Amino acid sequence: MDNCIFCKIAKKELSSEIVFESKNVIAFRDVAPVAPTHILVIPHKHIASLNELNTEQRKILLPEIFECIDELVEKEGLKEDGYRVVNNCGENGGQTVDHIHFHLLAGRAMQWPPG
Ligand code: AMP
């Protein structure tokens, strides 16, 4: 997608602090972090939201995204204190960038329910 900022980050056309990359998945630090650790994990491929994932992509990409999250949890030392993984989907979910992404948040106590 030409105008997608996350596609541009994935293609390295826009700078970001990349912390993980594999064939299908890339992770980078959020530009406006809401926690001491705030990383976004996305597929390279442009998929607008969880609603648009097809069955094949669900089987392949979701496990890879969670493998990436697992690796980041280890690498960033988040296991002991805990962390939160969030996907905002659609307008009511609070999604602002239409390229599927999972937030990995850590480094402070999270509130529940979310706003
Ligand atoms: P969401 O509201 O779930 O769609 O999350 C979008 C996230 O993308 C927000 O946390 C933004 O701060 C983040 N974001 C927007 N532009 C960039 C960028 N250029 N680099 C890194 N993160 C970004």
Domain boundaries, the chain: 5-106
- The CATH H-level (homologous superfamily) assignment of domain 5-106 is HIT-like (3.30.428.10)
* Ligand 1 atom with least separation from CA of 5: 19
- Looking at residue 23, its pLDDT comes to 95
Check pLDDT > 80 for residue 1.
Answer: no
Q: What is the mean pLDDT of residues 24-51?
A: 98
CB–CB of 30/12 below 8 Å? Answer: no
What band does 113 get if pLDDT is binned at 50, 70 and 90? very high
**Nearest partner of 72 among 112, 30, 9, judged by Cα:** 30
Q: How far apart are CA 48 and CA 34, in angstroms?
A: 23
Asked whether 13 lines ligand 1 (CB < 6 A), one says no
CA of 8 to the centre of ligand 1 (A): 13
Instruction: Identify the residue whose C-alpha is closest to ligand 1 atom 17.
Output: 31
- Looking at residue 115, its pLDDT comes to 84
pLDDT in tens, 42-100: 999 999 999 999 999 999 999 999 999 999 999 999 999 999 999 999 999 999 999 99
Q: What is the mean pLDDT of residues 31-37?
A: 98
CB–CB of 43/24 below 8 Å? Answer: yes
CA of 46 to the centre of ligand 1 (A): 15
Asked whether 41 lines ligand 1 (CB < 6 A), one says no
